[in-house]
């Protein structure tokens, strides 16, 4: 086992749950939910939770979008 920290891999998809994003970012779900609302992100509320469209992240929370792209690039390089 290596000493590198494990990076949670988010596969690229059109919609993410707030929980998936929070787990990948290493923050509390409620905290991320508040940050997304403050950034003006449109959340899709379903019976199982809140979801965010990838396009919303790309437009309104650029740092999270860039993080998803970076993880995808690293995963491709490691394969």
Q: Is the pLDDT of residue 9 over 70?
A: no
pTM over 0.85: no
Cα atoms in the Cβ-side hemisphere of radius 13 Å centred on 44? 13
Angle at 52 between CA 40 and CA 71, to 5 degrees: 110
Percent of the chain whose pLDDT exceeds 70: 87
**pLDDT tens figures, 37-64:** 999 999 999 988 999 998 998 899 888 8
Beta partners for residue 44, in sequence order: 51
As a 3-state breakdown, the chain gives helix, strand, coil percent values, each rounded to 5, of: 55, 15, 30
pLDDT for 1: 46
Confidence of residue 3 (pLDDT cuts 50, 70, 90): low
Using CA atoms, how far apart are residues 49 and 44, in angstroms rounded to an integer? 8
């Amino acid at each position: 086992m290596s000493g590198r920290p494990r990076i949670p891999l988010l596969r690229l998809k059109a919609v993410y749950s707030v929980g998936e994003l929070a787990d990948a970012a290493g923050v509390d779900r409620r905290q991320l939910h508040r940050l997304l609302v403050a950034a003006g992100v449109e959340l899709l509320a379903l019976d199982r939770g809140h979801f965010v469209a990838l396009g919303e992240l790309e437009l309104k929370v650029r740092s999270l979008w860039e993080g998803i792209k970076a993880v995808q690039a690293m995963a491709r390089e490691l394969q």
